[in-house]
Amino acid sequence: MLERKGKGNSLKIDLHIHSKNSDGADTVAELLANIKSAGLDVFALTDHDRTDGWDQAAKLAKELSLSFIPGIEITTEGRISGHTPFGVHLLAYLPNPDDQALKAMLAENVRSRYVRTNKFVEKLQVAYPKLSFDLVLELAQEDSTLGRPDLATALVHLGEFKSVEDVFEAVDSPISKDSPYYVRNEAPDVLDAIRIVRDAGGVPVIAHPLARTSTEDDQPISFPREHFQKMVEAGLIGIETDHREVPPEVKLILESFAAEFGLITTGSSDYHGLGVKPKNPLGLRTTSIEMLRKILQLGTGTKPTLSHSF
């Protein structure tokens, strides 16, 4: 049965959420329980570089009368002249998970994050001799996509820091991009990734564009308009303008760019579990129903699980 909310009772929509299948803290079952108690109506599961959680999320969403939008957060990089390559996270909604080019890109990203994490551990061992790659693997869910939060979790486990957030936010954090131990992710060009997502029937949306926390990869200082135009030419459909880590002045620039090019704008929490990112609770930022409708129209690669009518 499709639920329709009464007038003035808008749906709460959060389209960027992680589980333990990547670097979040909650298993999919724990996550769904938390989503229900946070009062969300519609959610997307967007684990880094994988779709494994989709089936269980769809099944549990149905049981809990939630609407579920299958998603992925793909690791890519921006390459613009005069700047070192910088990390770009690309959200993809409703792509066909069996598309060969998409599958190959995701598998390569997971593999390269595994190799990167191993290299990172080798460097960190200079300062933390007790840290081992085996420990990192043991604490992460088997076969999950590895990220820096997994390194942080291992350092907390060893008693070196009090919390994952402390590891990221410590002065001279050992895992920040300025750390001598830092190893960057190797990833495909965002322009190629956008084309692959579109070919797989998905809706590509740039995640937390130009987020400028001390922990993020080497982001451009000013708004790289040409780069955004190239992404639009490649088939970009939306920008996640409303995210805790996107500075307010950048948000304004992005909103005006989105209006100029007719792009979708979204808002999301980027929840990873409160033990990992306490400042990003579920539903912290939300997406409007109008924008969700456009995503549902344009995303043709797989079916959402809808418990509401839109």
Question: How big is the CA angle at 158 (ends 152 and 162), to the nearest 5 degrees?
Answer: 60
- To Fe ion, the closest distance from the beta carbon of 207 in angstroms equals 5
Nearer to Fe ion, 91 or 131 (CB): 91
DSSP label at 175?
T
For 258, other C-beta atoms within 10 Å of its C-beta total 18
Within positions 157 to 176, which residues make up the interface with ligand AMP, using CB under 6 A? 164-165, 168-169
242 scored as a contact of Zn ion (CB under 5 A): no
User: Which residues ranging from 184 to 243 are in contact with ligand AMP (CB under 6 A)?
Assistant: 185, 213, 215
* Binding piece for ligand AMP, criterion CB under 6 A, among 5-13, 62-70, 199-207, 272-280: 272-280
User: Residues 14, 23, 26, 150: which binds Zn ion (CB under 5 A)?
Assistant: 23
- Residue 184 neighbours by CB under 8 Å, 6+ apart: 87, 116, 177, 217
Contacts of 230 (CB under 8 A, 6+ apart): 191
Which one among 14, 21, 23, 86 touches ligand AMP, defined by CB under 6 A? 23
Report which residue's Cβ sits closest to Zn ion.
23
- Answer whether 77's CB lies under 8 Å from 48's CB: no
From the list 221, 274, 220, 264, the residue with the least C-alpha distance to 240 is: 264
Q: Are strands 203-206 and 264-267 parallel, antiparallel or unpaired?
A: unpaired
Residue 233, φ and ψ in degrees, nearest 5? -60, -35
Identity of the residue, 61 or 167, whose beta carbon is nearer to ligand AMP in the bound complex = 167
Residue span binding Fe ion (CB under 5 A) among the ranges 4-12, 85-93, 149-157, 296-304: 85-93
Q: Does 89 bind Fe ion (CB under 5 A)?
A: yes
Which residues sit at the interface with ligand AMP, rule CB under 6 A? 23, 147-149, 164-165, 168-169, 185, 213, 215, 270, 272, 276-277
User: Which residues contact Zn ion (rule: CB under 5 A)?
Assistant: 23
